[in-house]
């Protein structure tokens, strides 16, 4: 590998600059050079790239979305745009509208009863809106002359990255500075039987075409509570299972206000419990077995969907290991 790196990967600095003074140029090896290369096209990476371009630098953004284990994939913009803040707020908005519709008749509005919610319709609207943001981000990069590559990046050396396209084509990109803005992804508790096989995460919930139905959300993070919150608001049966306290890093008085409010609106809480296994029953439902840590008693429940929202570790870095790029 060392031989490959020496013979095929040019070292920094690149050959003399062009008339523009910028380092963006193609080497005779086909390698492209930039002042700044940003790995990750999420909120952080895009902001960094746009700012640098505005300051006159030649910038490229490399972004690639590894599909979730359920096969969900999305476009440019990272977690916030595709599987975070934006779709979440739209689903909260859908839930809040439902609440207002229920209240409306008490304020004199004549609303046809019963009030029903169509997940399919909401999901389509949310997904179309997110796709419009994906496109908007691409246009903004283009307008600022930031080059966008839909590549999965790995480091070759400290100034060179190897980008691999969906089709497996490899391209070398080099830059004076490389920013790592690869964000994080939800993780499955793979030690729990059936967790990966039958569960989903927040990477999937916003892209479901059909209603998740009766849902068990495992975790006590803000992601867990927010998902359970909008599911309850949309009229679905949502249960949150947590090992200890909700919103651990937050003010606990506020955390209690949040969970009490949710409970008063119908979210069920299983506290001090941890899941042991998930099985699919013959009717397609998921049977979850858990243990109550205080009593050591095992219990089971059936759900249509199990959503894991347990931890939020950084997962981009392993993909950025050192490689040799032909």
Q: Give min distance, CB of 45 to ligand FAD, in A.
A: 5
Distance of CA 203 to the CA centre of its chain: 5
Q: CB nearer to ligand FAD: give 233 or 316.
A: 316
Q: CB nearer to ligand FAD: give 196 or 319.
A: 319
Question: For residues 129 and 148, what is the distance between their CA atoms, to the nearest angstrom?
Answer: 21
Question: For residues 275 and 298, what is the distance between their CA atoms, to the nearest angstrom?
Answer: 9
Question: For residues 256 and 251, what is the distance between their CA atoms, to the nearest angstrom?
Answer: 9
Rounded to whole angstroms, what are the CA distances from 186 to 69, 113, 192, 200, 216? Answer: 11, 39, 15, 10, 16
Q: CB nearer to ligand FAD: give 258 or 320.
A: 320
Considering Cα of 25, then 31, then 37, then 41, what sign does the dihedral take?
positive
Q: Give min distance, CB of 114 to ligand FAD, in A.
A: 30
Q: CB nearer to ligand FAD: give 63 or 290.
A: 63
Q: Give min distance, CB of 219 to ligand FAD, in A.
A: 11
Render 251-285 in DSSP notation, one character per residue. Answer: -HHHHHHHHHHHHHTT-EEEETEEEEEEEE-TTSP
Rounded to whole angstroms, what are the CA distances from 6 to 162, 245, 299, 326? Answer: 15, 53, 60, 11
Q: Give min distance, CB of 69 to ligand FAD, in A.
A: 14
Q: Give min distance, CB of 218 to ligand FAD, in A.
A: 14
* Pairing state between β 297-303 and 286-292: antiparallel
Q: CB nearer to ligand FAD: give 181 or 286.
A: 181
Q: CB nearer to ligand FAD: give 34 or 64.
A: 64
Rounded to whole angstroms, what are the CA distances from 9 to 27, 36, 167? Answer: 10, 18, 22
Q: Give min distance, CB of 321 to ligand FAD, in A.
A: 9
Q: CB nearer to ligand FAD: give 39 or 216.
A: 39
Q: Give min distance, CB of 87 to ligand FAD, in A.
A: 8
Q: CB nearer to ligand FAD: give 4 or 85.
A: 85
Q: Which residues bind ligand FAD (CB under 6 A)?
A: 39-45, 62-65, 78-80, 83-85, 88, 152-153, 181-184, 202, 223, 316, 319-320
Q: Give min distance, CB of 231 to ligand FAD, in A.
A: 12
Question: Is the distance from CB of 209 to CB of 200 less than 8 angstroms?
Answer: no
Q: Give min distance, CB of 80 to ligand FAD, in A.
A: 4
Render 142-193 in DSSP notation, one character per residue. Answer: HHTT-EEE--EEEEEETTEEEEE-TT--EEEEEEEEEEE---------TTSB
Question: Is the distance from CB of 42 to CB of 49 less than 8 angstroms?
Answer: no
Question: For residues 41 and 234, what is the distance between their CA atoms, to the nearest angstrom?
Answer: 31
Q: CB nearer to ligand FAD: give 25 or 43.
A: 43
């Amino acid at each position: 590998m060392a031989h490959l790196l020496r013979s095929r990967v040019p070292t920094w600095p690149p050959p003399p600059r062009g008339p523009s003074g910028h380092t963006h140029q193609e080497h005779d090896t086909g390698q492209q050079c930039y002042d700044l290369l940003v790995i990750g096209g999420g909120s952080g990476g895009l902001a960094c790239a746009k700012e640098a371009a505005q300051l006159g630098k030649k910038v490229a953004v490399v972004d690639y979305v590894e599909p979730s284990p359920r096969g969900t994939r999305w476009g440019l913009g990272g977690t916030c745009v595709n599987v975070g803040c934006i779709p979440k707020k739209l689903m909260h908005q859908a839930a809040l509208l439902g609440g207002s519709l229920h209240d409306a008749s008490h304020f004199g509005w004549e609303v046809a009863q019963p009030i029903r919610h169509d997940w399919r319709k909401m999901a389509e609207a949310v997904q179309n809106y997110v796709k419009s943001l994906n496109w908007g981000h691409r246009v903004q990069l283009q307008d600022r002359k930031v080059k966008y590559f839909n590549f999965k990046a790995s480091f070759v050396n400290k100034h060179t990255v190897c980008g691999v396209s969906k089709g497996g084509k490899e391209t070398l990109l080099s830059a004076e500075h490389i920013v790592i803005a690869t964000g994080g992804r939800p993780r499955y508790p793979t030690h729990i039987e059936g967790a990966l096989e039958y569960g989903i995460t927040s990477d999937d919930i916003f892209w479901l075409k059909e209603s998740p139905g009766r849902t068990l959300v495992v975790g006590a993070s803000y992601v867990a509570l927010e998902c359970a919150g909008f599911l309850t608001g949309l009229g679905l049966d949502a249960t949150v299972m947590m090992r200890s306290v909700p919103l651990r890093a937050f003010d606990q008085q506020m955390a209690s206000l949040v969970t009490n409010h949710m409970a008063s609106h119908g979210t069920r809480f299983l506290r001090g419990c941890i899941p042991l296994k998930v099985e699919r029953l013959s009717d397609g439902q998921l049977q979850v077995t858990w243990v109550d840590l205080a009593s050591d008693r095992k219990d089971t429940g059936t759900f249509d969907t199990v959503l894991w929202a347990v931890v939020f570790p950084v997962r981009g870095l392993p993909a950025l290991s050192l490689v040799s790029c032909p």
